Amino acid sequence: MIHDDIQKVLVTEEEIEKRCVELAQQIEADYKKTGQTPIVVGLLKGSISFMAELIKRFESPIEIDFMKVSSYEGTESIGDIRIDLDMRISAKERPILLVEDIIDTGRTLVEVKKMLKNKGATDVKVVSLLDKPHERAIQADYVGFVVPNEFVVGYGLDYNQKYRNLPYVGVLKPEIYE
Ligand code: IMP
Ligand code: MG
């Protein structure tokens, strides 16, 4: 069982569900002020559980879409990303709410935001389930939970593509990395 590999739970399923209600209300109220409804764009694969929980709590007619990006590996150049899967809905003249699982260095988001602005998005906001506090160029507009600077898995987040299906966020036992 995947649960046996977990050393400690950092954020429970109940806490995430409750936070998603609060986040959706806050986000919706903010967009209402602008009179616009965003395209809610999930960054695959990590955002799927969070996105599913969050969008259920919106009451206005949002549209959803997905993107998958990856960083170029083995280069030191900051911010080089590759688009593996692009949005199907046009971003032109639309506000976009990006849904992310966790912000670590923030490099991915800086680049994706730039790209979407280049495609004509009027506004790009970010909601992230988790935030690892760091000195960085970008902050999420909305954050679910701040987590310590440890490697976390679950609720969409993986270690070598595993543990995304855990219904909570936790830390793996050290022997799993050995
Ligand atoms: P960054 O903000 O560009 O450094 O990259 C963030 C991405 O790295 C996230 O979307 C995750 O896919 C991945 N990531 C960062 N920290 C963790 C973690 O603790 N567990 C699992 N994935 C992580
Ligand atoms: Mg990710």
Summarize pLDDT for 9-68 with one digit per residue, the tens. Answer: 999 999 999 999 999 999 999 999 999 889 999 999 999 999 999 999 999 999 999 999
pLDDT of res. 77: 46
On whether the CB atoms of residues 1 and 156 are closer than 8 A, the answer is no
| Residue tagged active-site, from 30, 104, 123, 158 | 104
* Cis, peptide link before residue 18, omega less than 30° from 0: no
Question: Counting ligands in written order, which one lies closest to the CA of residue 126?
Answer: 1
Q: Indicate whether 91 pLDDT > 70.
A: yes
111 ligand 1 Cβ < 6 A:
no
Short-list 92, 98, 101, CA closest to 141 = 98
172 ligand 1 Cβ < 6 A:
no
Atom of ligand 1 nearest to the CA of 157: 21
170 ligand 1 Cβ < 6 A:
no
Using pLDDT thresholds of 50, 70 and 90, give the confidence band for residue 178: confident
Q: Which H/E stretch holds residue 49?
A: helix 48-55
Q: 169 C-alpha to center of ligand 2: Å?
A: 14
pLDDT of res. 72: 62
Using pLDDT thresholds of 50, 70 and 90, give the confidence band for residue 138: confident
Q: 153 C-alpha to center of ligand 1: Å?
A: 10
Short-list 130, 69, 127, CA closest to 95 = 127
pLDDT of res. 79: 55
* Catalytic (active site) residue 30: no
Summarize pLDDT for 52-80 with one digit per residue, the tens. Answer: 999 999 999 999 999 999 876 554 445 57
99 ligand 1 Cβ < 6 A:
no
d(CA 136, CA 141): 14
For residue 48, how many other CB atoms are within 10 A of its CB?
18
105 ligand 1 Cβ < 6 A:
yes
